[in-house]
A = this chain, B = another copy of it.
Amino acid sequence: MAKTLDEQLAVSGKIKLADYDSRATTGFDGGKDDSAKSLTLLGEELSDLQERLYANGDAKISDRKVLLLLQGMDTSGKGGIIRHAAGLVDPLGLTITSFKKPTQEELKHDFLWRIEKGLPAPGKIGVFDRSQYEDVLIARVRQLAEPQEIERRYDAINEFEKKFVESGGVVIKCFLHIHSDDQKERLAARLEDPAKHWKYNPNDVNERMLWDDYQRAYEIAIERCSTEWAPWHLIPSGRKWYRNWAVAALLAEKLRGLNLEWPPANFDVDAEKARLANT
């Protein structure tokens, strides 16, 4: 039996990111020219699936909700996925949360405090642009917390995600995998194009100088937090078209798996037809 995309892209245990090809097109039958049409078709299906999810939440007959969590180095494509994959569904059904440097208020609480506030309600698809993982990634690389606190966080994240899943949530964690050369090329392109200067921050190069440390931090996060209930997926993101397709396809696969029916009428259909006819 053919493997699902979920199975093909899932990663767990001790892995070496350097062993993965950032330009792979795992599970996609064709090349860039075929991807636009595939994405359009996927968009139509996603639109229907998302509406079913929303309808069930709206009718309060289901607690299902989906969290699409995006992590990756600068330029790996978190924004591109929000625009081109999440953007395929009705924006009313989305809640997008971008996690930036924590505010003073946020720092007063446990690191999961602000994360919990961003979780999607029943019927919604939540998108995390960065996430709780920053607290074991940049926090580890830049030593923003004590080692024992970082250790505690891996377990806390696993518990947190388990609780969300037990409450009807589906978690889709995507690590957008690019090669260091991909990033160099993309940052250079931003510097060449005045319409992209606003996306560039000199700090991006500072972070880039710690590339190997970040890759290691991601490997540890995957080892510690790719669980049965919330596995990590490695999305080869060297080709933008594949990256967008893969995340959209993964989202569709998960939504399809929920087997959501349209909510039944909670009123007498014939009586309402008669009432309407009389107006």
Assembly CA distance A87 to B87 (angstroms): 7
Q: Are A265 and B197 in contact (CB under 8 A)?
A: yes
| Residue in contact with A269 in the complex, picked from B94, B191, B262, CB distance below 8 Å | B191
Which residues from B are CB-within-8-Å of A82? 90-92
Q: Are B83 and A198 in contact (CB under 8 A)?
A: no
Q: Are A96 and B87 in contact (CB under 8 A)?
A: no
Which residues from B are CB-within-8-Å of A200? 265, 267, 272
Report the copy number of this chain in the oligomer: 2
A116 is an interface residue with CB less than 8 A from chain B: no
User: Could you name 17 residue pairs across A and B whose Cβ atoms are closer than 8 Å?
Assistant: A55-B199, A79-B92, A82-B92, A83-B92, A87-B90, A87-B91, A91-B96, A188-B276, A191-B272, A195-B262, A197-B263, A198-B262, A200-B267, A200-B272, A202-B272, A205-B272, A205-B275
Apart from A197-B262, A201-B267, 16 more pairs, CB < 8 Å:
A55-B198, A79-B90, A82-B91, A82-B92, A91-B94, A92-B98, A184-B279, A188-B273, A188-B276, A191-B272, A194-B265, A197-B269, A198-B263, A202-B275, A205-B272, A209-B279
